[in-house]
Structure 1
Amino acid sequence: MTTMINRMLERYLPERRIFVRSENDTRYLRLTPLTQFVGLSGSAVVIVWVTIASAIVLMDSIGSGNLREQASRDLVLYEGRLKQLAAERDARAAEAAAAQDRFNVALEQISVMQSELLASEERVRELSKGIDVAQANLRKALRERDEARESERLAMASANGEGTDAAGITPEEMETTVDILSTALADIATERDDMVVDAYQARSQAENLAVELRIMEEKNDRIFSQLEDAMTLSVEPLDKMFRAAGLPTESLIETVRSAYSGQGGPLTPITFSTMGGPPDPDSTRANALLDKMDRLNLYRIAAQKAPFALPLQDSFRYTSGFGMRWGRMHEGTDFAAAYGTPIYATADGVVTFAGWQSGYGRLVKIQHEFGIETRYAHQSKLLVKVGQRVSRGEQIGAMGNSGRSTGTHLHYEVRVNGRAVNPMTYIKAARDVF
């Protein structure tokens, strides 16, 4: 077979000999056509492989450059988006503060209107009593007038008799009596006319007060409507945020209320009724608004105690999310930034661990309300100690590369009753509120 292949290749690759001379003899190497073919084929394969490998390396270098440029552009876009979200958060906070101020002003107006309503009710009662007294006096005057007329009639009848009645009254005495009765009747008529005028004025004043009360009620209705709209716009985003984070809002509110159960101040239920009866509609609406305000304040307290904030305030990028990674469960979210970047607590709580823990490296654990715990791993230094109470936004350490880590980053975990949950659930839920 070899001989036949050599004969076939000999036409294109004739046999060659390479002579090698030494001091004592001369030798040569015989290159058959098959040997030459194998050598040339191997060289061609090596050249093709080198060419392809070089092309691959070149393309990979170009692609890496494009990826780096794309990553840079994405970083710039993300930083811009982060600044925009921060501005929106500040705007929402300013709007919430403005709504709080408007609500306080409205409460002051309601207090003033309550005083005016009480004064109006007092005036109405006084006018009613005055009208009753005037009517009683009028009835008394009319009764006295009728009695005087009856006495005058009897006196006139007696005067038309024999000059002296059965009681021995003379005509002169009768005339004097008639004059006295006439004067009394004139005084009674004048007093009656004055009473009629006073009653008319009292009715006019009562009608004016009724108009003022109706105008005040309409003004109250507009104020209540504005306050109800403001409370709805303030409470609904917070309620949606807690529900998106999977927190039971009612039990959460009850937990916060039990810890903040003091009474008094502007949130104490009020009443506009002065008769000791059931509350009127305005009082019911005001108490409903106070309930919503109370719920808003409880939500804000709860928001400070749940991890709705980001652990970083400087520029960063997400490097790994919550879920399966390399066949194992990754129980947190990774944030990459420069070495030493400040790390902040995401909610109010108490530090339960601050030290070195196996793969976590330098680790801080913070226990929050509602059975929530947050963890901050791979830090370069720790700024808190066990038992310390921290607030949301307070710095607890700096980003590093300690423990089982492939580069500088923060491993951030959220656990509810000991079970790891996705931290982005809380961060995304708060994105439209803070």
Structure 2
Amino acid sequence: MRTKLAIKVHSILESYFPERRVFLKSDTDTRFIRLRPGTQLIAFAGSAALVAWAIIATAVILMDSIGSGNFREQAKRDQRTYQARLNDLSAQRDRRAEEALAAQERFNAALAQISMMQSDLLESETRRRELETGIEVIQSTLRDTMHDREAARTQLAELESTLEEGGGSVIQTAASGTPIDFLASALERTAQERDQVILDSQDALLKADEMEQRIALMQDRNDAIFRQLEEAMSVSVAPLDKMFRDAGMPTDRIIETVRRGYSGQGGPMTPLSFTTRGEEPSADTLRANRLLNQMDRLNLYRIAAEKAPFATPVKANFRFTSSFGYRRDPKTGGRRMHSGVDFAAGMGTPLYSTADGVVTFAGRQSGYGRLVKIQHEFGIETRYAHMSRIRVKVGQRVSRGQRIGDMGASGRVTGVHLHYEVRVGGKAVNPMIYIKAANDVF
């Protein structure tokens, strides 16, 4: 059976690969090599495998070259997109900086106007008190003069009755002229004083009318100043209030926390409390106090903004390589929680504190590599991991925007980047909540 099968296979191979002989001739001898069907089949199969391998290898190389070209083009497009995005972010940051500077200038102008308004109000109050004192003096003098005039009239009537009743002795007294001259002189002085009092009263009334007009003009000007300041405060306070609310920070508690730790007093922030005669504060005084309270709130907001992580830890050009939340672990491939955001840039890129605070850790820590922890107000902590160099020490107080280290690739990483975390009460939160909340303010 095996022989028949071998004969059949040999006959089939003979039909496709007949036996061939290759003759090798030399000067003295002639030899040949017999190429049997099996040998030819092996040679054909080897040649076919070699050609197939060459074709597959060429196709793989060609596809890899095409794919690399596409990847390079895609990388270039991504780079151009990131660059355009970075330029847009830079332009937005510059615009926000200009708006913040303009808001600061408006704030300073408002303070200057409030100071001028206080000075004008004090001056007008002083003038009014002087005018009231002058009117009281004139009224007192007028009353005394009227009293003296009535007394003179009474004395004159008594003298006239004495003349009518007394006879010769009175005539002799009248002849001497002493009482009559004294009475005439007193009446003349009284008339002059009366005329002077009338003139002084008229002059005082004119000055009072003039003062009322000036006070009315001052009130109009103060009202215009108040409106401008109230609009400026509304424009300045509203974005900061929205920023804190978008970041999930209760504004009342934030203001109270900052107020407890802030002892600044004096200047235009002191509420107006002056009055003339123990009267209730005027409408302008109450309005000015409300405005000063808004300015105080704005000042406390600005202090709080320096203590919360609203800034970006990287100021140079960078790209986001990983966001907050669950993701595929780059090392193990499994699903894992990513408790921060990653900023990728060049080795040694400066890193900055995002808020005022105190350094609580500066060293190596397991997968974080070189790590810096900063404790801020309101129970907030920030972490800066994978540094190549740490530039702060434990216990050091840092300010917002102060350089704390350099970007690197220490710890459990796949490349150079910064792993940035924000924790509130020990729980990790998305840092982009704070960064995005401040986009329209800073």
Normalising by the smaller structure, the TM-score range is 0.7 to 0.9
Q: Aligned AA for 1:85?
A: Q
In 1, the alpha carbon distance for the partners of 2:127 and 2:182 equals: 44
Q: Aligned AA for 1:195?
A: V
Deviation sequence 1:211-233 (CA, Å, 0-9, x none): 22222222222222222222222
Give unmatched runs, 5+ long, in structure 1: 159-164
The answer to whether structure 1 residue 208 and structure 2 residue 215 are counterparts is no
The answer to whether structure 1 residue 323 and structure 2 residue 325 are counterparts is yes
Shift of 1:17: 2.5
Residue 427 of structure 1 corresponds to 435
Equivalence map 1:42-191=2 (5 Å): 53=60, 56-151=63-158, 153-154=160-161, 158=164, 165-166=165-166, 169-174=169-174, 176=177, 177-178=179-180, 180-191=182-193
Residue 244 of structure 2 corresponds to 242
Q: Aligned AA for 1:16?
A: F
Deviates more, 1:85-94 or 1:215-224: 85-94
Deviates more, 1:337-346 or 1:181-190: 181-190
Count of residue correspondences: 417
The answer to whether structure 1 residue 358 and structure 2 residue 366 are counterparts is yes
Contact residue 345 and residue 417 of structure 2 kept, 8 A: yes
Contact residue 149 and residue 187 of structure 2 kept, 8 A: no
Deviation sequence 1:347-373 (CA, Å, 0-9, x none): 111111111111111111111110101
The answer to whether structure 1 residue 396 and structure 2 residue 392 are counterparts is no
Deviates more, 1:14-23 or 1:125-134: 14-23
The answer to whether structure 1 residue 307 and structure 2 residue 313 are counterparts is no
In 2, the alpha carbon distance for the partners of 1:359 and 1:120 equals: 74
The answer to whether structure 1 residue 335 and structure 2 residue 336 are counterparts is no
Change (3 A) 1:25 1:31: closer
Shift of 1:114: 3.1
Residue 410 of structure 1 corresponds to 418
Change (3 A) 1:324 1:151: same
Change (3 A) 1:15 1:31: farther
Change (3 A) 1:149 1:367: same
Residue 227 of structure 2 corresponds to 225
User: Helix, strand or coil: the match of 1:17?
Assistant: coil
In 2, the alpha carbon distance for the partners of 1:230 and 1:27 equals: 103
Residue 296 of structure 1 corresponds to 298
User: Helix, strand or coil: the match of 1:381?
Assistant: strand
Deviates more, 1:127-136 or 1:335-344: 127-136
Residue 15 of structure 1 corresponds to 16
Q: Aligned AA for 2:296?
A: D
In 2, the alpha carbon distance for the partners of 1:75 and 1:27 equals: 67
In 1, the alpha carbon distance for the partners of 2:293 and 2:366 equals: 49
Change (3 A) 1:249 1:30: same
Q: Aligned AA for 2:395?
A: G
Contact residue 343 and residue 398 of structure 1 kept, 8 A: yes
Residue 162 of structure 1 corresponds to none
In 2, the alpha carbon distance for the partners of 1:25 and 1:88 equals: 89
Please give the TM-score of this superposition, normalised by the length of structure 1.
0.86
In 1, the alpha carbon distance for the partners of 2:281 and 2:170 equals: 70
User: Helix, strand or coil: the match of 1:169?
Assistant: helix
Q: Aligned AA for 1:222?
A: A
In 2, the alpha carbon distance for the partners of 1:113 and 1:180 equals: 52
Deviation sequence 1:270-305 (CA, Å, 0-9, x none): 224122232111211221122112111111111111
Deviates more, 1:396-405 or 1:23-32: 23-32
Deviation sequence 1:134-174 (CA, Å, 0-9, x none): 33034224413532552465356x1xxxxxx3476343434
Residue 332 of structure 2 corresponds to none
Deviation sequence 1:283-335 (CA, Å, 0-9, x none): 11221122112111111111111111110111111111111101211111100
Q: Aligned AA for 1:122?
A: R
Residue 161 of structure 1 corresponds to none
Give unmatched runs, 5+ long, in structure 2: 24-30, 329-334
Deviates more, 1:137-146 or 1:240-249: 137-146
Q: Aligned AA for 2:199?
A: V
Q: Aligned AA for 1:307?
A: P
* Identity over aligned pairs, percent: 43
Contact residue 322 and residue 331 of structure 1 kept, 8 A: yes
Aligned with 2:279 (options 277, 280, 283): 277
In 1, the alpha carbon distance for the partners of 2:76 and 2:372 equals: 35
Deviation sequence 1:61-112 (CA, Å, 0-9, x none): 2321221221221232133223313322331332133123213322330232
Change (3 A) 1:57 1:178: same
Q: For the aligned residues, what is the CA RMSD?
A: 3.2
The answer to whether structure 1 residue 378 and structure 2 residue 386 are counterparts is yes
User: Helix, strand or coil: the match of 1:433?
Assistant: coil
In 2, the alpha carbon distance for the partners of 1:335 and 1:114 equals: 55
User: Helix, strand or coil: the match of 1:91?
Assistant: helix
Shift of 1:403: 1.0
Contact residue 141 and residue 192 of structure 1 kept, 8 A: no
Shift of 1:384: 1.4
Contact residue 17 and residue 30 of structure 1 kept, 8 A: no
Deviates more, 1:331-340 or 1:355-364: 355-364
Please give the TM-score of this superposition, normalised by the length of structure 2.
0.84
Contact residue 272 and residue 280 of structure 1 kept, 8 A: no
In 1, the alpha carbon distance for the partners of 2:239 and 2:47 equals: 76
